[in-house]
Structure 1
Amino acid sequence: MQQTEEHHSYARATWQVVEPYHGAVYFSPEAHARYEELGADNRAGYFASRGAALGPASAELVIGTFYNFNPDLVHRALPAAWQAASPQRFLAARLAGIDATLHRVLGPEIGSAEMLRAAELAQQAARTALRHPQGRPLFAAHAALPWPDEPHLVLWHAQSLLREFRGDGHVAALLAAGLDGIEALVTHAATGAIAAEALRTSRGWSPEQWTQAVQRLCERGWLEQGPDLALTPYGRERRQAIERTTDELADLPYAVLGQASCAELRRLARPFSLALARELLPWAVDRLAAVAD
């Protein structure tokens, strides 16, 4: 199917609206509590629960597929997490945690007709992605997981698949652009989309490592020299090319679903995502408001 800028626009918008519904799992106190019961703190629980689809993955495999985390951070979490509990138990804890969060935040809405229809649409898109696992290792690992039965978890699992499908394509675009993990973060911060300090600390990089990456990017013409983090015209062009490639590699499930059904999915899922964002991801509230129906 030939992709157009129109496809990119509504595909990107649909992913942006539904993504908080998936992303809530990383900030879910219920999920964190279940990881702690298995003997993993929040950080180790993140790597183990998201990486568990890969099996008892090595730190190196998670570093490669997650891409932008400080390797030292991953090595502190793995393989120690697998000594605490099996990947299957982390997967079960992850699903039980988000299930509890969705029940708490959304209440009776999880059993609504709107939830059922949103789940059907998202599953249709995800099933298209399932036919194209090539070159997408983290997505392919999650694609092998069984579908849950309840609609609110079907919607969450479908969006998890679509998120990893997009993420693997984004990694490919970053590699093609010649950016390593921390350089990808620095250039993302330089777009103004998210605070540099939030990216640096959440991925475990030291101020010195961040400064070194900034200097490398200045020397390669991506960033302006000076105290402020700013892309050069060349850097803006390269970063925009990365985003275009990411969109192109992620669009197929939404293009097959179609523009009208994507609009319906956005309309149905927006209240669910907004409720979760207000509770767990406050920075995402304004972003959701900026995405048109």
Structure 2
Amino acid sequence: MTQNMDRDSLALARTTWRTLEPYHGAVYFSPEAADLYAELGVDARTGYFASRSAALGAVPADLVIATFYNFSPELVRRAIPAAWEAATPQRFAAARLTGIDATLRRILGADVSSPALARAAELARTAAEVTMRHPQGRPLFAAHAALPWPSEPHLVLWHAQTLLREFRGDGHVAALLAAGLSGIEALVTHAAGGDIDGEVLRTSRGWTPEQWGQAVQSLRERGWLDDVSHLALSEEGARRRAEIEDTTDGLAALPYVTLGPAACAELSSLVRPFSLSVAKELLPWAVDRLSEEST
């Protein structure tokens, strides 16, 4: 599929996903969701692993490690399977949905019942339903695709973007594997690209400084990084990282290409204000990008 995608199709996949992503990503920083995980007897980080993997069922840690990919295995094993002793996957999935419902209602207010949001939900669901016919090779996506659709438009939009996000994410893991990057090496190349601070990526994914240093050294030896004191992609590394992103876009493009450029533009225009409101509250690093894309 990727080989037949033109640059416009790849850009369409990336920009539409990026505009909608904060609307989904709010769940990972939702205080309402964290409170509900606490009521189930776990902390916010364990709640993250349990609620996102809950669609898979009461799976062992190794399956979460495989599908989440760039997290330290030790970090995952501290959360799974202990989470399933605190509560069932069904209760974690319900807490996740209830939490994001409360968060979106609090941040968006009356907009949750607006015609604009209802139309955005309709378009996003149309795109997401395209992906549901193509679960092969995408285990985390397929598990979420088997969940029932919510009934209220603001949750339909959130669930649709969840499916589009996990569809893209499973493809991204495949692209990283094909490029020969481990989970921690993928994080290092991401940091070396300059978008996100490496220390934030390292600590949030549970890697030690020693593990990070070993990954940096390995990538330098393989020509991905410049042989300098600071973290930076080499010319070859930048080229290969761009190839990974293009492959990811190509593997994720089908729902957006099926929806078409006009409908994708409409969807992005409708969702951008909602994503921006969520980002201002919970994801400040996404605000500038969303503002720039709206001009």
Range into which the TM-score falls when normalised by the shorter chain: over 0.9
Question: What per-residue deviation string (whole Å, max 9, x for no partner) do you get for residues 73-105 of structure 1?
Answer: 000001000000000000000000000000100
Mapping of residues 212-231 of structure 1, within 5 Å: 212-231=214-233
2:128 aligns to what? Answer: 126
Retained in 2: the 8 A contact 1:13–1:292?
no
Retained in 2: the 8 A contact 1:16–1:291?
no
Mapping of residues 1-293 of structure 1, within 5 Å: 2-292=4-294
Question: What per-residue deviation string (whole Å, max 9, x for no partner) do you get for residues 11-56 of structure 1?
Answer: 2111000000000000000000000000110110000000000000
Retained in 1: the 8 A contact 2:12–2:253?
no
Q: Give 1:3 deviation, angstroms.
A: 2.5
SS in 2 for 1:170: helix
Question: What per-residue deviation string (whole Å, max 9, x for no partner) do you get for residues 230-279 of structure 1?
Answer: 11111111101100100000000000000000000001000100000000
Paired residue type of 1:117: R
Paired residue type of 2:112: I
Instruction: Output the CA distance in 1 between the equivalents of 2:258 and 2:138.
Output: 19
Paired residue type of 2:64: V
Question: What per-residue deviation string (whole Å, max 9, x for no partner) do you get for residues 162-199 of structure 1?
Answer: 00000000000000000000000000110101111110
> Among the aligned pairs, what percent are the same residue?
69
Unaligned runs of 5+ in 2: none
SS in 2 for 1:227: coil
Question: What TM-score, normalized by structure 1, do the two folds share?
Answer: 0.99
Q: Give 1:10 deviation, angstroms.
A: 1.8
Instruction: Output the CA distance in 1 between the equivalents of 2:226 and 2:235.
Output: 9
Retained in 2: the 8 A contact 1:35–1:90?
yes
Instruction: Output the CA distance in 1 between the equivalents of 2:63 and 2:13.
Output: 29
Q: Give 1:292 deviation, angstroms.
A: 5.0
Paired residue type of 2:223: G
SS in 2 for 1:128: helix
Instruction: Output the CA distance in 2 between the equivalents of 1:290 and 1:196.
Output: 24
Instruction: Output the CA distance in 2 between the equivalents of 1:243 and 1:133.
Output: 20
Instruction: Output the CA distance in 2 between the equivalents of 1:39 and 1:110.
Output: 30
Paired residue type of 1:46: Y
Instruction: Output the CA distance in 2 between the equivalents of 1:244 and 1:253.
Output: 16
Q: Give 1:221 deviation, angstroms.
A: 0.7
Paired residue type of 1:97: G
Instruction: Output the CA distance in 2 between the equivalents of 1:41 and 1:185.
Output: 24
Instruction: Output the CA distance in 1 between the equivalents of 2:48 and 2:58.
Output: 14
Q: Give 1:290 deviation, angstroms.
A: 3.0
Query: How many aligned residue pairs are there?
Result: 293
Instruction: Output the CA distance in 2 between the equivalents of 1:61 and 1:278.
Output: 34
Instruction: Output the CA distance in 2 between the equivalents of 1:226 and 1:235.
Output: 14
Retained in 2: the 8 A contact 1:17–1:273?
yes
CA-based RMSD of the aligned residues comes to: 0.9
Instruction: Output the CA distance in 2 between the equivalents of 1:223 and 1:283.
Output: 25
SS in 2 for 1:224: coil
Instruction: Output the CA distance in 2 between the equivalents of 1:291 and 1:77.
Output: 37
Q: Give 1:291 deviation, angstroms.
A: 2.6
Question: What TM-score, normalized by structure 2, do the two folds share?
Answer: 0.98
